[in-house]
């Protein structure tokens, strides 16, 4: 089982507020990811990291930013939330081994911007 934790699980905030979604993993994985997903729909990669001080933008353009100061921590920040940011945000990490690249997910953070 993977140990990857996201907080908060659910958040309702007003337009224009700054928010940070936290993500931590205890597995020592170098690679971490943020996906955006509307309920039951496709996953869209918005950010990823290959390790400390590495951050890259994903396939879907996002107004959020990320940082990777420690291996275990990969927070996502929205400086000024808007209703269009309402979605589920999934954090993940991966190991690369003999079985290929296996990604493990947190339980997700549901964000509603009103």
Partner 1 sequence: GNSVTQMEGPVTLSEEAFLTINCTYTATGYPSLFWYVQYPGEGLQLLLKATKADDKGSNKGFEATYRKETTSFHLEKGSVQVSDSAVYFCALSEDSNYQLIWGAGTKLIIKP
For binding to partner 1 (CB under 8 A), which residues are involved?
A: 6, 31, 40-43, 45, 48, 50, 90, 92, 94, 96, 98-108
Phi, psi of 9 (to 5 degrees): -75, -40
Give yes or no for a contact between 60 and 42, defined as CB atoms under 8 angstroms apart: no
Tell me whether residue 79 or residue 107 sits nearer to partner 1 (CB atom).
Answer: 107
Name the minimum Å distance from CB 40 to partner 1.
5
In the complex with partner 1, the residue whose CB is nearer, 67 or 110, is 110
Q: 33 near 103, Cβ under 8 Å?
A: yes
Q: How many residues does the chain have?
A: 114
Our CB check for partner 1 shows the closer of 66 and 92 to be: 92
């Amino acid at each position: 089982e993977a140990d990857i934790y996201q907080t908060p699980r659910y958040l309702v905030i007003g337009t224009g507020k700054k928010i940070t979604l936290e993500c931590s993993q205890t597995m020592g994985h170098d690679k971490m990811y943020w996906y955006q997903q509307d309920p039951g729909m496709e996953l869209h990669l918005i950010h990823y990291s290959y390790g400390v001080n590495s951050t890259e933008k994903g396939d879907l353009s996002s107004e959020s930013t990320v940082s990777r100061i420690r291996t275990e921590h990969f927070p996502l920040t929205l400086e000024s939330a808007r209703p269009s940011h309402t979605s589920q945000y999934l954090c993940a990490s991966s190991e690369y081994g003999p079985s290929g690249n296996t990604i493990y997910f947190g339980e997700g953070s549901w964000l509603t911007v009103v």
